[in-house]
Chain A
Amino acid sequence: MKSLILIMIGSALINNVVLNQFLGICSFLGVSKQMKASASLGAAVIFVLTLASAATSLIYDHLLSPLDLDFMKTIVFILVIAALVQIVEMFLKKKSPAVYRALGIYLPLITTNCAVLGVALTNVQDGYNFVESVVSGFGTAIGYTLAIVLLASIRSRINEDDIPAPLRGAPIVLITAALMSLAFMGFSGLSF
């Protein structure tokens, strides 16, 4: 149990997926303009990342590893993730239109979100078992949501400010991200 909590804290805060490992930067910078969109994307990422970690962990442990096909993991994982996102999308559309309307447009975005593939590969690299992989996937997604929601709320404030012309647009967002990353480095004191 203790190790699971450590994995959770580690993946959500200490090794924050966006601010420390630079995965999922595209959507982090792109979608964070609006608070509501960020929160919805965060929810979609939590959903998909947890499922994808579970699926890839099962496939690796029971298919790739016994058959000695370790080198196929990149190809297999990316296809599994793409298929999974499609299935989730179809399922939600049919079974729960309300959730689909809230998350729908973000689901295809997630296939190319490198955080998903990144976590699946890290789980294998760190030799996590099924439960540990799911916890690590969930924790990473929480970290992603935390970062994007924080950035979105900071950006809504920045909009009102008088920023020097060359820094307007992308640079000021990146500088904000730099400061957030600096703050998150403080969590590395938490590593046990």
Chain B
Amino acid sequence: MKKYLERIWNGIVTENPTLILMLGMCPTLAVSTRAMNGVGMGLSTTAVLILSNLVISLLRRVIPNEVRLPAYIVVVASLVTVTELTMQAYLPELFAALGLYIPLIVVNCIILGRAEAYASKNPPLLSAFDGLGIGLGFTLALALAGALRELLGNGTVFGAQVLPESIEPIGIFVQPPGAFLIIALIIAVMNAIGIKTRQRKLVESPCDGRCGLCSQACEQKGGAKDE
């Protein structure tokens, strides 16, 4: 039991995908205009993560090593399509707000990163919990960014008025520049109080290019050269 809880703690705190590992920045920047959108996006990604980790872990002895990445992509893309259609049917408003970013969960580095780093080596149930933990960590980070942007840019949090009406909100925070600014400030505050992001220096060679799959591709190329 303890190791399952440890997986969840790991995802939310130790290896928080957005705040510590700095993965999946595209959706973080794009959908954090409202706290509610952030939570919606986070939970959709969580659903895909749990299922993809589970399926990939179950198939880990079946998928040949050479074609594992295309195989993972097919699994993830199918699950994303299922999630997309489900949301379209039952949560049409959220689906409209998130738009393009739902199908783009396919290329979210977090998902392929977890498939490669964890699910391909661990038993199904543990992998599912890993997906849950990482997904919740992602959701919390998105909710935090969303809540801050909504508060500063609109005076509300989760739609409820927080700042008094007499204070004019700073509209720029719900516009695209505000996304970069808020994430920059969150990381700066983390730096200031001594929480280290595990992203090394912002990348020397393109092969340090962070995203799980990118570095994979680079490793493969490096390996190919050695042969």
Q: A111 to nearest B CB, angstroms?
A: 7
Q: Residue A20 at the B interface, CB < 8 A?
A: yes
**Partner of A171 from B78, B188, B201, B213 at Cβ < 8 Å:** B188
Q: Residue B98 at the A interface, CB < 8 A?
A: no
| A window 97-141: CB within 8 A of B | 104-106, 108-109, 111-114, 117-118, 121-122, 125
Is A78 a contact partner of B177 (Cβ separation < 8 A)?
no
A79-B72 Cα distance, complex, nearest whole Å: 11
Is B206 a contact partner of A179 (Cβ separation < 8 A)?
no
A22-B30, A75-B81 are contacts. A121–B100 as well, Cβ < 8 Å? yes
**Partner of B180 from A75, A108, A165, A175 at Cβ < 8 Å:** A175
Is A117 a contact partner of B104 (Cβ separation < 8 A)?
yes
Q: Which residues of A contact B207 (CB under 8 A)?
A: 105
| B window 187-227: CB within 8 A of A | 187-189, 191-192, 197, 199, 201-211, 213-214, 217-218, 220-221
Q: A155 to nearest B CB, angstroms?
A: 9
Q: A5 to nearest B CB, angstroms?
A: 24
A111-B217, A112-B107, A170-B187 are contacts. A182–B192 as well, Cβ < 8 Å? no
Stretch binding the partner chain, chosen from A28-36, A45-53, A54-62: A28-36
Contact size range, B = 35 or more
A118-B104 Cα distance, complex, nearest whole Å: 7
Q: Residue A181 at the B interface, CB < 8 A?
A: yes
Q: A115 to nearest B CB, angstroms?
A: 9
A24-B26, A30-B209, A82-B73 are contacts. A125–B100 as well, Cβ < 8 Å? yes
Is A166 a contact partner of B189 (Cβ separation < 8 A)?
yes
Is A26 a contact partner of B214 (Cβ separation < 8 A)?
yes
A26-B26, A74-B80, A82-B70 are contacts. A169–B103 as well, Cβ < 8 Å? no
A52-B211 Cα distance, complex, nearest whole Å: 21
Q: Which residues of B contact A109 (CB under 8 A)?
A: 206, 209, 214, 217-218
Q: Which residues of A contact B177 (CB under 8 A)?
A: 178-179, 181-182, 185
A171-B207 Cα distance, complex, nearest whole Å: 21
Q: Residue A177 at the B interface, CB < 8 A?
A: yes
Q: Residue B85 at the A interface, CB < 8 A?
A: yes
Q: Residue B29 at the A interface, CB < 8 A?
A: yes
**B59-88 interface bits toward A, Cβ cutoff 8 Å, 1 = contact, 0 = none:** 000000000001001100110110011000
**Partner of A185 from B103, B176, B208, B213 at Cβ < 8 Å:** B176
Q: Residue B25 at the A interface, CB < 8 A?
A: yes
Q: Which residues of A contact B176 (CB under 8 A)?
A: 19-20, 22, 181, 185
A171-B177 Cα distance, complex, nearest whole Å: 13
A165-B103 Cα distance, complex, nearest whole Å: 38
**Partner of A26 from B84, B112, B185, B210 at Cβ < 8 Å:** B210
Chain A residue nearest to B222 in the complex (CB) = A105
A30-B209, A112-B214, A118-B104 are contacts. A25–B26 as well, Cβ < 8 Å? yes
Binding site for B on A (CB under 8 A): 19-27, 29-31, 33, 37, 41, 71-75, 78-79, 82, 104-106, 108-109, 111-114, 117-118, 121-122, 125, 165-175, 177-179, 181-182, 185
Name 11 A/B residue pairs within 8 A (Cβ), A-sorted: A22-B25, A26-B26, A37-B205, A74-B77, A74-B106, A78-B106, A105-B221, A109-B206, A171-B188, A174-B187, A178-B184
Known: A26-B25, A72-B81. 10 other contacts (CB 8 A): A33-B203, A79-B77, A104-B221, A105-B218, A105-B221, A118-B104, A167-B188, A168-B191, A178-B179, A181-B179
Binding site for A on B (CB under 8 A): 22, 25-27, 29-30, 70, 73-74, 77-78, 80-81, 84-85, 100, 103-104, 106-109, 112, 172, 175-181, 183-185, 187-189, 191-192, 197, 199, 201-211, 213-214, 217-218, 220-221
The 10 nearest A-B residue pairs measured at CB = A108-B217, A174-B184, A178-B180, A166-B192, A22-B30, A166-B191, A75-B77, A181-B177, A22-B29, A171-B188
